[in-house]
Amino acid sequence: MMVGIGCRAETNADAVIALVREAVARWGMPDALAVPPFRKNHPGVRAAAKALSLPVRVVDFLALASAQPRCLTHSERTRRAVGFGSIAEGCALAALGPAARLLGPRLAAEGVTCAFARTTATAKESLTAYFKKTGRSR
């Protein structure tokens, strides 16, 4: 299971930690936090990862873009600001691949969004989808 995080640059660490903990109480403990490249060093993201003892997975822009049609919510303001209408949901989905599904729409509070996704794909299916998408060979 993966939690995607979106937040404003000025969002404080306490707000990120609080919303992620609320989501964990609802959906359970994820395997990692997924964020876009422009938030990989955000203090709130790092603090949440440390507080929950989770790794941070940075989602590349291509994967984030390909996940957008599967997102449940979209923000026009976010789209204008960063080029994507759904950061948290998109990151959660993109980190797990094309077989991932959201557990529900994102949660939002105090400049932070988070969304949970899970996949039923096997490792082989995930790798096959990755190689097909990127055009790389095994």
Q: Does residue 122 have a pLDDT over 90?
A: no
Q: What is the mean pLDDT of residues 126-130?
A: 62
- CATH topology for 2-134 is Nucleotidyltransferase; domain 5 (3.30.420)
Q: Where are the alpha helices (H) located in the chain, listed in sequence order?
A: 13-27, 43-52, 61-67, 76-82, 88-96, 123-134
- Which pLDDT tens digit goes with each residue over 61-117? 999 999 999 999 999 999 999 889 999 999 999 999 999 999 999 999 999 999 999
Domains of the chain, by residue range, sit at: 2-134
Q: pLDDT-based confidence at 126, cuts 50/70/90? A: low
Cβ neighbourhood burial of 58 (10 Å; 0-12, 13-18, 19+): middle
- Which pLDDT tens digit goes with each residue over 25-71? 999 999 999 999 999 999 999 999 999 999 999 999 999 999 999 99
Give the pLDDT of residue 120. 79
Q: What is the pTM of this model?
A: 0.84
Q: Which amino acid is at 136?
A: R
Give the pLDDT of residue 5. 96
Judged by DSSP in three states, 10 sits in: coil
Which residues are paired to 6 by β-bridges? 113
Q: pLDDT-based confidence at 136, cuts 50/70/90? A: confident
Question: Which 8-state DSSP code applies to residue 110?
Answer: T
